[in-house]
Amino acid sequence: QKEVEQDPGPLSVPEGAIVSLNCTYSNSAFQYFMWYRQYSRKGPELLMYTYSSGNKEDGRFTAQVDKSSKYISLFIRDSQPSDSATYLCAMSETSGSRLTFGEGTQLTVNP
Protein backbone atom coordinates (compact mmCIF):
# COMPACT_ATOMS: atom_id res chain seq x y z
CA GLN A 1 0.00 0.00 0.00
CA LYS A 2 1.31 3.45 -0.89
CA GLU A 3 2.01 6.02 1.81
CA VAL A 4 -0.17 8.57 0.00
CA GLU A 5 -3.32 7.64 -1.91
CA GLN A 6 -5.00 9.94 -4.40
CA ASP A 7 -7.79 9.22 -6.85
CA PRO A 8 -6.23 9.72 -10.30
CA GLY A 9 -9.54 10.69 -11.92
CA PRO A 10 -9.89 11.97 -14.57
CA LEU A 11 -12.28 14.59 -13.26
CA SER A 12 -14.28 16.75 -15.68
CA VAL A 13 -16.42 19.67 -14.49
CA PRO A 14 -18.19 22.65 -16.09
CA GLU A 15 -16.77 26.13 -15.67
CA GLY A 16 -17.84 27.71 -12.39
CA ALA A 17 -18.18 24.41 -10.53
CA ILE A 18 -16.68 23.73 -7.13
CA VAL A 19 -13.97 21.11 -7.34
CA SER A 20 -12.97 18.86 -4.45
CA LEU A 21 -9.70 16.93 -4.53
CA ASN A 22 -8.61 14.58 -1.77
CA CYS A 23 -5.73 12.48 -0.49
CA THR A 24 -5.30 10.03 2.35
CA TYR A 25 -2.04 9.03 3.94
CA SER A 26 -0.66 6.52 6.41
CA ASN A 27 2.51 8.11 7.83
CA SER A 28 1.75 9.90 11.10
CA ALA A 29 5.07 11.76 10.93
CA PHE A 30 3.94 13.95 8.04
CA GLN A 31 3.64 17.56 9.21
CA TYR A 32 3.62 19.59 5.99
CA PHE A 33 0.91 19.11 3.41
CA MET A 34 1.19 20.61 -0.04
CA TRP A 35 -0.81 20.85 -3.22
CA TYR A 36 1.05 21.14 -6.49
CA ARG A 37 -0.38 21.90 -9.91
CA GLN A 38 1.25 20.42 -13.00
CA TYR A 39 0.49 21.50 -16.54
CA SER A 40 1.30 19.21 -19.44
CA ARG A 41 5.05 18.93 -20.10
CA LYS A 42 5.86 21.21 -17.18
CA GLY A 43 7.22 20.69 -13.69
CA PRO A 44 4.95 20.78 -10.63
CA GLU A 45 4.36 24.23 -9.14
CA LEU A 46 3.38 24.79 -5.53
CA LEU A 47 -0.17 26.03 -5.03
CA MET A 48 -0.53 25.93 -1.26
CA TYR A 49 0.90 24.38 1.84
CA THR A 50 -0.48 23.75 5.32
CA TYR A 51 1.43 22.99 8.46
CA SER A 52 -0.26 20.41 10.70
CA SER A 53 -4.08 20.40 10.88
CA GLY A 54 -6.35 23.23 9.83
CA ASN A 55 -7.61 25.23 6.90
CA LYS A 56 -5.89 27.69 4.62
CA GLU A 57 -7.47 29.90 1.99
CA ASP A 58 -5.86 31.65 -0.96
CA GLY A 59 -8.23 33.28 -3.40
CA ARG A 60 -10.38 30.57 -4.99
CA PHE A 61 -8.37 27.78 -3.36
CA THR A 62 -8.90 26.28 0.11
CA ALA A 63 -6.73 23.55 1.61
CA GLN A 64 -7.88 21.46 4.57
CA VAL A 65 -5.90 19.02 6.68
CA ASP A 66 -7.38 16.61 9.20
CA LYS A 67 -4.48 14.79 10.83
CA SER A 68 -6.75 12.71 13.05
CA SER A 69 -8.27 11.14 9.93
CA LYS A 70 -5.08 11.37 7.85
CA TYR A 71 -7.07 13.14 5.15
CA ILE A 72 -6.36 16.30 3.17
CA SER A 73 -8.48 18.21 0.67
CA LEU A 74 -8.19 20.99 -1.87
CA PHE A 75 -11.27 22.94 -2.90
CA ILE A 76 -11.38 25.13 -5.99
CA ARG A 77 -14.26 27.59 -6.17
CA ASP A 78 -15.56 29.11 -9.40
CA SER A 79 -13.34 26.80 -11.44
CA GLN A 80 -11.91 28.16 -14.69
CA PRO A 81 -10.68 26.43 -17.86
CA SER A 82 -7.19 27.63 -16.90
CA ASP A 83 -7.43 25.39 -13.81
CA SER A 84 -7.29 22.34 -16.10
CA ALA A 85 -4.16 20.47 -15.00
CA THR A 86 -3.01 17.58 -12.85
CA TYR A 87 -3.18 18.27 -9.12
CA LEU A 88 -0.72 16.46 -6.89
CA CYS A 89 -0.86 16.26 -3.15
CA ALA A 90 2.51 15.99 -1.41
CA MET A 91 3.66 15.60 2.16
CA SER A 92 6.84 15.83 4.16
CA GLU A 93 7.98 15.26 7.73
CA THR A 94 10.05 18.42 7.98
CA SER A 95 10.47 21.59 5.97
CA GLY A 96 13.06 21.15 3.25
CA SER A 97 13.00 17.37 3.33
CA ARG A 98 11.84 14.83 0.79
CA LEU A 99 8.29 14.99 -0.56
CA THR A 100 6.02 11.98 -0.86
CA PHE A 101 3.48 12.52 -3.63
CA GLY A 102 0.08 11.17 -4.45
CA GLU A 103 -0.29 9.97 -8.01
CA GLY A 104 -2.15 13.10 -9.08
CA THR A 105 -5.71 13.87 -10.20
CA GLN A 106 -6.22 15.04 -13.77
CA LEU A 107 -8.79 17.87 -13.82
CA THR A 108 -10.51 19.32 -16.88
CA VAL A 109 -12.73 22.40 -16.57
CA ASN A 110 -14.97 22.74 -19.58
CA PRO A 111 -15.99 26.22 -20.81
Partner 1 sequence: DARVTQTPRHKVTEMGQEVTMRCQPILGHNTVFWYRQTMMQGLELLAYFRNRAPLDDSGMPKDRFSAEMPDATLATLKIQPSEPRDSAVYFCASGLGGLVRDRVREVYQPQHFGDGTRLSIL
DSSP letter string, 66-80: ETTTTEEEEEESS--
Residue 58 CB, nearest approach to partner 1 (Å): 14
Q: Does residue 27 belong to the site contacting partner 1 (CB under 8 A)?
A: no
Among 88, 91, 107, 109, the residue binding partner 1 under the rule CB under 8 A is 88
In three-state secondary structure terms, 81 is helix
Residue 99, C-beta contacts closer than 8 angstroms, at least 6 positions apart:
34, 90, 91, 92
For residues 28 to 47, the per-residue mask of contacts with partner 1, x marking binding by CB under 8 A and - elsewhere, is ---xx-x------xxxxxx-
Q: Does residue 71 belong to the site contacting partner 1 (CB under 8 A)?
A: no
Distance of CA 39 to the CA centre of its chain: 14
Q: Does residue 95 belong to the site contacting partner 1 (CB under 8 A)?
A: yes
Residue 90 CB, nearest approach to partner 1 (Å): 8
Among 16, 51, 55, 81, the residue binding partner 1 under the rule CB under 8 A is 51
Per the CB < 8 A criterion, the answer to whether 24 and 3 are in contact is no
Nearest Cα residue to 32 out of 57, 53, 47, 46? 53
Instruction: Tell me which residues touch partner 1 (CB under 8 A).
Output: 31-32, 34, 41-46, 49, 51-52, 88, 90, 94-104
